[in-house]
Every structure is written in structure tokens, then in C-alpha cells.
């Protein structure tokens, strides 16, 4: 699926969040969660999430904010691997927005768009209830965004489309996320 086709369907916003989110601590709340047929989406920055299983790129030494767990785990019970698995982070449930109320949980498939690139990912972690715009080290790297957990990311220009419907199974299979994501993206473009 071309980035342009997905972006063309996210030009207008029917806001479903009760208020807006900040992209960084101390920033103004400017980002709504929007709905289209078959998906929710937002346009934000990308901060780098290196949480989960410690790896060469993601650990306490490389990331001072490293946390050894993710909100969702692999099918074998182990934590997700941010260095190798493309995943997105959704805000923790709050009065502002409850992702689970929209069918979004661990393994839900997302398309993350930056410039002319699309990276399929799964919902793999939750973050603060008032912040939005975060994805795993692997997601950033695949999109050509600097993935360093301390100084990486990008300040704007990232669109997150999270599809309602079948999940990637198992959650740790990027191949399953891509196959499911391609099908859901085609449906999203067709329906909108």
C-alpha cells in the first residue's frame, strides 16, 4: 500500500478522543484521536520506545528510561523486543480515550507512515495517559527515523493508522502484521 493512499484518507478528522494529547512533556495538547471507517488515527511526532526485553540497542545503558516490560507480551509470555519488533505505543486508558473501547489491544495492527514510507506494526505497549506519538526502535529504524532512544525520533510528520479488525497472531510475528496490515489497509482505502 502506498503512503499517499493512506494519507489521502486521513485528511479530515472526526475526533473521538475527549480532548487532545500532548506529544511531549510540557508541550501543549494539540493531537486528537480521529476515526474513519475501519480505523482510528492520529498525526504526531515519534518518540522511541525501547522497553521490553533487553537487547544490544535497548537496555538501561542505552536508554535511561528503559523499562523491562511492555503492556503486552509475546505468545510465550516473554516481553516484546523493541529492537526487532515494529510496534506502536498507545496512550494508557483514561477519560480522554480508552483504546480498548475501540477494539484496540495488544496485537492490533497499525500502519505507521512517515514521508513516503509505510511500516506495518502491532500495538505493543501503552504509555502515559496524556501523551501520544511513540513507537518501537524497530519501527523508527524501518521508517528511516533515527532510532536512538536518547536522541532519536522525529518532531512531527508521522501518521499512525490503527486498524479495527483481526489482529496479528502471534503478536511477535512481524510477517503476520504485514500480511494482516496489507489486507486491512486495502480495506481502509476502499471504504474511505
* pLDDT digit string, tens, across residues 118-157: 999 999 999 999 999 999 999 999 999 999 999 999 999 9
The pTM of the full predicted model, rounded to 2 decimals, is 0.97
pLDDT in the model for residue 41: 99
Residue 138: give the domain boundaries: 3-191
Judged by DSSP in three states, 182 sits in helix
Residue 165 pLDDT grade (very low, low, confident, very high; cuts 50, 70, 90): confident
Give the pLDDT mean for 80-85.
98
How many structural domains does the chain have? Answer: 1
Q: Please tell me the number of Cα atoms within 13 Å of 32 on its side-chain side.
A: 12
Residue 63 pLDDT grade (very low, low, confident, very high; cuts 50, 70, 90): very high
Amino acid at each position: 500500500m502506498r503512503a499517499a493512499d493512506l494519507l489521502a484518507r486521513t485528511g479530515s478528522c472526526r475526533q473521538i478522543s475527549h480532548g487532545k494529547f500532548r506529544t511531549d512533556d510540557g508541550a501543549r495538547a494539540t493531537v486528537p484521536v480521529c476515526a474513519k471507517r475501519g480505523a482510528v488515527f492520529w498525526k504526531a511526532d515519534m518518540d522511541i520506545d525501547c522497553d521490553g526485553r533487553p537487547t544490544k540497542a535497548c537496555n538501561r545503558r542505552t536508554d535511561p528510561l528503559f523499562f523491562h516490560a511492555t503492556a503486552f507480551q509475546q505468545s510465550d509470555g516473554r516481553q516484546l523486543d523493541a529492537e526487532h519488533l515494529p510496534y506502536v505505543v498507545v496512550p494508557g486508558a483514561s477519560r480522554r480515550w480508552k483504546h480498548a473501547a475501540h477494539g484496540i489491544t495488544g496485537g492490533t495492527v497499525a500502519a505507521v507512515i512517515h514521508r513516503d514510507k509505510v511500516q506495518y506494526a502491532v500495538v505493543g505497549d501503552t504509555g502515559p495517559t496524556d501523551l501520544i506519538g511513540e513507537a518501537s526502535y524497530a519501527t523508527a529504524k524501518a521508517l528511516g527515523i533515527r532510532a536512538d532512544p536518547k536522541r532519536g525520533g522525529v518532531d512531527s510528520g508521522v501518521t499512525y493508522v490503527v486498524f479495527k479488525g483481526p489482529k496479528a497472531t502471534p503478536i511477535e510475528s512481524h510477517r503476520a502484521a504485514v500480511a494482516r496490515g496489507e489486507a486491512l489497509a486495502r480495506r481502509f482505502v476502499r471504504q474511505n
